[in-house]
Amino acid sequence: MSRREGSLEDPQADSSISPLPHLESKIQQTHSLARLLTKYAEQLLQEYVQHQGDPFGLPGFSPPRLPVADLSAPAPGHAGLPVPERLRLDEAALAALPPLLDVVRRRQAELNPRALRLLRRLEDAARQARALGAAVEAVLAALGAETRGPRPEPNAIAAATVTAGVFPAKVLGLRVCGLYREWVSRTEADLGQLAPGGPA
């Protein structure tokens, strides 16, 4: 992710109006970042299914929703939680995604070594998730809300290697890319609740 993407400015801001308060500015910037990354996450998902072959890209394809260690999809009741709690869950998910995306990238480097754009998108996604997670953490700190604090390193990566079939690896990659898209989109929606002009 370029620095330009991480420091967005509102192109419609009128210079004659006094600068936004620091918190509102931070929220707005993070919201804009989340919106941009939602678009990138969608592109990543499209690129991913293209390289796995059918049926991965076919409408109605419904592989088993394999559980992923340290991460699950946003719960159905997520939207009903208070905004700070939602943002805490967003931040935790964004922190769990980078190592998973790295695993997927390494596996795809073996399965699709010539899919350079896919590999680059997976690498970018890991960086983008870290950046967005850090920005959400900063918003929570500015709100005076508690963050989750230091969390243990995911031990899934440090676990003993397990031989896995190619098809399950493809399905897992699809699951991780899908989770990335869900959580980035969820973060955008949750920040939209706080951004100026959004619902209180």
Nearer Cβ to other proteins, position 13 or 164?
Answer: 164
Q: What is the DSSP string of 54-98?
A: TTTTSTT-------BTTB-PPPTTGGGS-HHHHHHHHHHHHHHHH
Closest contact distance (angstroms) between CB of 199 and other proteins is: 35
Q: Which is nearer to other proteins, 7 or 72 (CB)?
A: 72
- How far apart are CB 135 and other proteins at their closest, in Å? 25
* CB-CB contact of 169 with 111 (8 Å): yes
Q: Which is nearer to other proteins, 135 or 179 (CB)?
A: 179
If the CB atoms of residues 14 and 54 are measured against other proteins, the closer one turns out to be: 54
Give least dist CB 14 to other proteins, A: 48
Would the CA dihedral through 183, 189, 194, 196 be positive or negative?
positive
Query: What is the sign of the dihedral through the CA atoms of 74, 75, 78 and 81?
Result: negative
Shortest Å, Cβ 137 to other proteins: 23
Distance of CA 195 to the CA centre of its chain: 19
Question: In terms of CB distance, is 113 or 197 closer to other proteins?
Answer: 113
Asked if the bond preceding 55 is cis, omega within 30° of 0, the reply is yes
Taking the C-alpha atoms of residue 58 and residue 52, their distance in angstroms, rounded to an integer, is: 11
Interface with other proteins (CB under 8 A)? 51-56, 58, 61-69, 100, 103, 106-107, 110-114, 156-157, 159-172
Shortest distance, position 109 Cβ to other proteins, whole Å: 11
